[in-house]
Structure 1
């Protein structure tokens, strides 16, 4: 495994992390504790130390599977979670960024994660009006002072949201999470230059484009109604999958796994600290970790 410094946080994170939205039950299946234990246990064996989750991945469900899985080696993990949404049922949430409620969300996350602190607490895909609340950031920074949060971050909803990115340092945030992959390079235009200017850590989410860049899906693929991908426009999905086929023919070297190539592609950008792909099972953890073999040294954030 390779490691990088997450901006100015002082946190050393594996360049490949574990995204855990799937644990919340919106990716076509549910999980038992033993399955989460196996996934995170194998990740640790492979040198992965970064976990990203959220309050609304099944009303703290994802967090409640992570907590027992890492309870005995909590200090070895960099644990990132988020705030801002109340989960009601699959694919249904309401936004809640009221400072007092955010503190309640934090306490529920800490309880589910069976820990007394989170390493990175992220504003989760919220509107600019909620982001611009001084009271919210004052409250969050008090939680940092209390030791319940080590560092603050922003998970921007639109990967072109320069408004929130440019104000990160001013509100006390030290990391940006953003959608970035070979099919969606929008952050390169404004978001990444701002991150580099501010020395912000960057977590690239959806680095495999919801699995499309694994190369295993073809145009015409249909997903079950319990899979978030079923909510995509069919014509747009087919366009993306045709683009993936072209990338496979023209950019991925012969004999190289496309998913590993796609993760390494993200990690080449000087602004990107780590990728946080989801993984449905141990085999996918292993496949994601294998991308490290394609990652060159000499990155500005190398630890």
Structure 2
């Protein structure tokens, strides 16, 4: 495992960390506590020291699993959670300092931790970024010892640029992968100027970049890859990075042709992201121990050549850029 600094925090975190949206089972299936604990323990056994969760993941069961495992380990493990998505309807007016503080305190109870290393606003409506009183409340939470750092998880580059105007925002969680390349332009440069850490989420485009799907692949009824392809439930960009599934498969076929010796494209997709020094860590999800091991096999690969990297970028330009680049 290799480690990088998380922006202006004093946290040195694993390049490949762990996202826990589907850690207790596949999207749409029930939560399995033992499976969740096995996945988290396997990640830690292999050097992962940063775990990202959220209060809405499996209605708090993900936070509970993370807390149980972290408290059972002797290593220093940094825990990040998120708040805000419980607000219903999910509108700016629902974001109130007292409401958010209660969410943080509830997350502490579920995890059993005294302090969260990082709390992140969870993809709030754009208007929230223009309300300084929201960001000010987290300074109070720091003073109370309930959090160490504040970050945001965003949908759009523009939201990230606004968020990092607040000096207490120490990290931004953003979708970035071979099929969602816009953040590497202006946003990465501005974040680096302000020493803001970048946490990359949805690095495998909801599994599309593993290369294991085809036109006959079916997803469970409760899986967002089944019901959110057009953004019916939440931002479309969360599902297959906003890309039309069939067009995505065509792009993946070209990636397969570029790497004929590689049965699993996932570590290559992660390797592409790690080329960017502005990235602090990647938080791929895992619904099995094998997924954790797949993600960590990035370190078994030879370095990506400049020629192969350029070819990967050409595939993005050919199939994907016109559909997603300016949307997010």
TM-score by length of 2: 0.82
The correspondence for 1:106, drawn from 96, 104, 107, is 104
The correspondence for 1:200, drawn from 196, 203, 209, is 196
252-261 vs 193-202, which deviates more?
A: 252-261
The equivalent residue for 2:22 is 22
The equivalent residue for 1:94 is 90
The equivalent residue for 1:246 is 254
Retained in 2: the 8 A contact 1:260–1:291?
Answer: yes
C-alpha distance in structure 2 between counterparts of 1:172 and 1:295, whole Å = 38
C-alpha distance in structure 2 between counterparts of 1:98 and 1:39, whole Å = 35
The equivalent residue for 2:306 is none
The equivalent residue for 1:142 is 140
C-alpha distance in structure 1 between counterparts of 2:288 and 2:103, whole Å = 28
Alpha-carbon spacing, 1:2–1:256, altered in 2? closer, same or farther (3 Å):
farther
In the TM superposition, what is the alpha-carbon distance from 1:175 to its structure 2 partner? 0.7
C-alpha distance in structure 1 between counterparts of 2:143 and 2:45, whole Å = 33
In the TM superposition, what is the alpha-carbon distance from 1:257 to its structure 2 partner? 3.4
Q: Write the mapping of 1:1-303 to structure 2, written as runs, cut at 5 A.
A: 1-23=1-23, 27-73=27-73, 76-86=76-86, 94-95=90-91, 96-158=94-156, 160-161=157-158, 163-231=159-227, 232-233=229-230, 236-250=244-258, 252=259, 254-255=261-262, 257-294=264-301
RMSD: 2.3
274-283 vs 226-235, which deviates more?
A: 226-235
C-alpha distance in structure 2 between counterparts of 1:215 and 1:195, whole Å = 31
Alpha-carbon spacing, 1:214–1:26, altered in 2? closer, same or farther (3 Å):
closer
Query: Structure 2, unaligned stretches of length 5 or more?
Result: 231-239, 304-328
Retained in 2: the 8 A contact 1:36–1:69?
Answer: no
Retained in 2: the 8 A contact 1:166–1:194?
Answer: no
Deviations 1:244-264 (A, max 9, x none): 1112212x3634731111111
C-alpha distance in structure 2 between counterparts of 1:142 and 1:75, whole Å = 28
Alpha-carbon spacing, 1:249–1:43, altered in 2? closer, same or farther (3 Å):
same
TM-score by length of 1: 0.88
Query: Structure 1, unaligned stretches of length 5 or more?
Result: 297-303
How many residues align? The count is 290
The equivalent residue for 1:301 is none
126-135 vs 177-186, which deviates more?
A: 126-135
The equivalent residue for 1:300 is none
C-alpha distance in structure 2 between counterparts of 1:74 and 1:123, whole Å = 29
Partner secondary structure for residue 224 of structure 1: coil
Deviations 1:253-290 (A, max 9, x none): 63473111111111111211111000011111111111
